């Protein structure tokens, strides 16, 4: 018998099955069996075979991936093997985006070419401006982003050619380059301000700040502390393996649709308050709490279930701490040194202090996640809360694209099509209206 296997005895039939166990890079993490091996387990010859039931895919690997590794028990996050702490300290968002796409850090020539190619694609078709103008003045910028990124597929019909490597490459440049432009235009629209065209002499983040905040100055000069803070936050948000939006990108992309349509679906998935919408929800929660002395009452209401969840706490995978949250907390103080402290920080710190000592949160392994502090930082910079998930979507585009290409190039991948356990009526005859 193979030591790396599982023996399953079906007590309905007494038949024994030996199923091989496969491993990923880290032997203690990702040992798996092929779910299709279970299909041979049948109660009778005409039985369909055994399925696994896994709502929310809490214990199902949908792919093999080499992009991002995270170990929830130890609070570890790595892109292509590089720890997030080192990337946050030494890399830039664009360099990290290159690493995610190609698997290696670029040399100086490769990085210069990558920057140039992205810089060449920052402008959007003038009709996109008209499209944004047609949204209501108070349209949520995530809704605008879902619509405009999806609309890009009509401006670039060549993007459908997804089996052509050079074509895919061009869409990668376009998407990474245009996301800040679309996001900034959505923001300016909500403020009733004229759009600012990209300035490719600035850094990726500096240009984004220019498109957001330039008023009448001839040349916008980004504040270097805020520019660096956004760049690091972008690195922290660039990928997070098979989360909801990335799974949406892969699932939609697996039907061979173009990457703009698939990215639009991923942005829609990110919009929800249990995912990228959480940083927005954190701010709303802190505002609702109102003052430090109300924190104990709020915690009580969370524990009783009446007050909803403690937003910015908990994670499907991280069960010790979210390494991104630690870095975020430090960035918050760098930013506050420039902008002045966000008055909500005291409420956040008190929430964290009480929750981390409370058995309800400890026993459920609920710790601050990346969204707990990012919203406070963005608010201190002057972003309205509606822009918070947009600031998540821009950098996550690099991760979505890396995962989309990995999915397309994986010979084992198929169109996403889960099974179900049918629990409805058995077949029955149609009842005419007069007999119901
Ligand atoms: N506040 C209070 N209780 C919570 C929380 C929370 N934030 N999160 C989970 N729980 C409780 C939950 O009620 C359940 O308790 P019980 O066992 O008594 O029924 C237990 O913890 C397990 O919860 P779960 O829903 O099974 O856990 P999950 O892994 O499905 O949920 C989560 C993960 C992130 C959706 C959830 O923790 C949550 O809703 N957090 C708040 C929203 C948030 O901050 N999301 C951002 C995630 S990080 C950014 C990203 O990657 O998208």
| pLDDT for position 26 | 87
Q: What is the average pLDDT across 10-28?
A: 94
**CA pair distance 365, 387, nearest whole angstrom:** 29
Q: Which helix (H) or strand (E) holds 77?
A: strand 76-79
Residue 13 lies in a domain: no
- Residue 27 pLDDT > 80, yes or no? no
Banded model confidence at residue 319, pLDDT cuts 50, 70, 90: confident
Number of neighbours of residue 399 by Cβ within 10 angstroms = 26
Q: What pTM did the predictor assign?
A: 0.92
Looking only at the bridges linking them, the beta strands covering 15-20 and 5-10 are antiparallel
Give a three-class secondary structure readout of 189-200.
HHHCCCCCCCCC
**CA pair distance 348, 345, nearest whole angstrom:** 5
- Residue 293 pLDDT > 90, yes or no? yes
Is 278 close to ligand 1, i.e. is its CB under 6 Å away?
yes
Cβ contact 277:374 at 8 Å: no
CA 334 centroid distance within chain: 25
Least confident of 9-23, 208-222, 312-326: 312-326
Is 247 close to ligand 1, i.e. is its CB under 6 Å away?
no
Q: What is the CATH number of the domain that holds 355?
A: 1.10.580.10
The model's pLDDT over 144-198, given as tens digits with 9 standing for 90+, comes to: 999 999 999 999 999 999 999 999 999 999 999 999 999 999 999 999 999 999 9
| pLDDT for position 279 | 84
One of 371, 410, 429, 434 is an active-site residue; which one?
371
For ligand 1, atom 2, the nearest C-alpha belongs to 309
Query: Could you tell me what percentage of the chain is helix, strand and coil, using 3-state DSSP and rounding each to the nearest 5?
Result: 55, 5, 40
For ligand 1, atom 17, the nearest C-alpha belongs to 364
Banded model confidence at residue 221, pLDDT cuts 50, 70, 90: very high
Q: Tokens at residue 223, please?
A: 């504040």
Is 285 close to ligand 1, i.e. is its CB under 6 Å away?
no
CA 308 centroid distance within chain: 23
| Residue 187 CA to ligand 1 centre (angstroms) | 30
**CA pair distance 270, 245, nearest whole angstrom:** 5
Q: Tokens at residue 421, please?
A: 């356990």
**CA pair distance 176, 202, nearest whole angstrom:** 15
CA distances from 91 to 99, 228, 236 (A): 10, 11, 11
Q: Tokens at residue 379, please?
A: 């608010």
**CA pair distance 428, 360, nearest whole angstrom:** 48
**CA pair distance 374, 369, nearest whole angstrom:** 9
| Residue 307 CA to ligand 1 centre (angstroms) | 14
In total, how many domains does the chain have?
1
What would the DSSP string read from start to end of 40-86?
G--SSTT--------GGGTT------SSEEEETTTTEEEETTEEHHH
- Residue 73 pLDDT > 80, yes or no? yes
Say whether 275 is catalytic.
Answer: yes
Say whether 163 is catalytic.
Answer: no
Residue with tokens 């979210």: 322
Say whether 371 is catalytic.
Answer: yes
Is 240 close to ligand 1, i.e. is its CB under 6 Å away?
yes
Cβ contact 75:322 at 8 Å: yes
Residue 17 lies in a domain: no
The model's pLDDT over 121-137, given as tens digits with 9 standing for 90+, comes to: 999 999 999 999 999 99
- Could you give the 3-state DSSP secondary structure of residue 318? coil
- Residue 110 pLDDT > 90, yes or no? yes
Is 237 close to ligand 1, i.e. is its CB under 6 Å away?
no
Residue 271 lies in a domain: yes
Residue 47 lies in a domain: no
Residue 254 lies in a domain: yes
Q: Which of 249, 291, 266, 282 is nearest to 370 (CA)?
A: 282
Is 366 close to ligand 1, i.e. is its CB under 6 Å away?
yes
For ligand 1, atom 37, the nearest C-alpha belongs to 314
Residue 209 lies in a domain: yes
**CA pair distance 419, 426, nearest whole angstrom:** 18
Is 324 close to ligand 1, i.e. is its CB under 6 Å away?
no
Which domain, by its residues, includes 215? 52-418
- Residue 312 pLDDT > 80, yes or no? yes
| pLDDT for position 66 | 98
Residue 43 lies in a domain: no
| Residue 311 CA to ligand 1 centre (angstroms) | 8
**CA pair distance 48, 39, nearest whole angstrom:** 7
Q: What is the average pLDDT across 25-29?
A: 84
Give a three-class secondary structure readout of 145-171.
HHHHHHHHHHHCHHHHCCCCHHHHHHH
Q: In the 8-state DSSP scheme, what is residue 6?
A: E
Q: Pick from 274, 314, 374, 392 the residue to mutate for probing ligand 1's pocket: most ligand atoms within 8 Å of its CB.
A: 314
One of 315, 359, 429, 434 is an active-site residue; which one?
315
Q: What is the average pLDDT across 365-376?
A: 90
Burial class (CB in 10 A: 0-12, 13-18, 19+), 203: buried
> What atom of ligand 1 comes closest to residue 309's alpha carbon?
1
């Amino acid at each position: 018998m193979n030591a790396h296997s599982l023996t399953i005895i079906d007590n309905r039939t007494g038949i024994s099955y030996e199923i091989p166990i496969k491993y990923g890079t880290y032997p203690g993490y990702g040992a798996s069996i092929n779910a299709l091996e279970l299909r041979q387990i049948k109660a009778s010859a005409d039985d369909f075979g055994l399925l696994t039931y896994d709502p929310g895919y809490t214990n199902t690997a949908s792919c093999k991936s080499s992009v991002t590794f995270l170990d929830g028990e130890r609070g570890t996050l790595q892109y292509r093997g590089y720890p997030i702490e080192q990337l946050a300290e030494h890399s830039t968002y664009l360099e990290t985006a290159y690493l995610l796409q190609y698997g290696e850090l670029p040399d100086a020539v490769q990085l210069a070419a990558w920057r140039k190619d992205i810089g060449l694609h920052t402008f959007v078709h003038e009709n996109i401006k008209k499209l944004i103008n047609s949204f209501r003045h108070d349209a949520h910028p995530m809704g605008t982003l879902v619509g405009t990124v999806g609309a890009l597929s009509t401006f670039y019909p060549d993007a459908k050619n997804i089996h052509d490597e050079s074509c895919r490459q061009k869409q990668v440049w376009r998407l990474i380059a245009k996301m800040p432009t679309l996001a900034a235009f959505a923001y300016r629209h909500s403020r009733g301000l004229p759009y600012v065209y990209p300035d490719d002499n600035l850094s990726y983040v500096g240009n984004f700040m220019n498109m957001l905040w330039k008023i009448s100055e001839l040349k916008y000069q980004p504040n270097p502390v805020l520019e660096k803070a956004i760049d690091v936050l972008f690195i922290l948000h660039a990928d997070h393996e098979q989360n909801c939006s990335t799974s949406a990108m892969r699932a939609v992309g697996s039907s061979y649709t173009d990457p703009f349509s698939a990215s639009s679906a991923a942005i829609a998935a990110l919009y929800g308050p249990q995912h990228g919408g959480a940083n927005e929800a954190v701010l709303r929660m802190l505002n609702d709490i109102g003052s430090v002395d109300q924190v104990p009452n709020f915690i009580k209401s969370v524990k009783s279930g009446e007050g909803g969840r403690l937003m910015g706490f908990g994670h499907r995978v991280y069960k010790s701490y979210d390494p991104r949250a630690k870095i975020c907390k430090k960035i918050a103080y760098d930013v506050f040194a420039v902008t002045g402290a966000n008055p909500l920080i005291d409420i956040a710190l008190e929430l964290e202090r009480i929750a981390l000592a409370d058995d309800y949160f400890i026993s459920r392994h609920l710790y601050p996640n990346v969204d707990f502090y990012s919203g406070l930082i963005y608010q201190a910079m002057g972003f309205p809360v509606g822009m918070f998930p947009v600031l998540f979507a821009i950098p996550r585009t690099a991760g979505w694209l890396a995962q989309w290409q990995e999915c397309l190039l994986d010979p084992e991948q198929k169109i996403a099509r889960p099974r179900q356990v049918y629990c409805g009526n058995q077949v029955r005859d149609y009842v005419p209206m007069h007999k119901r």
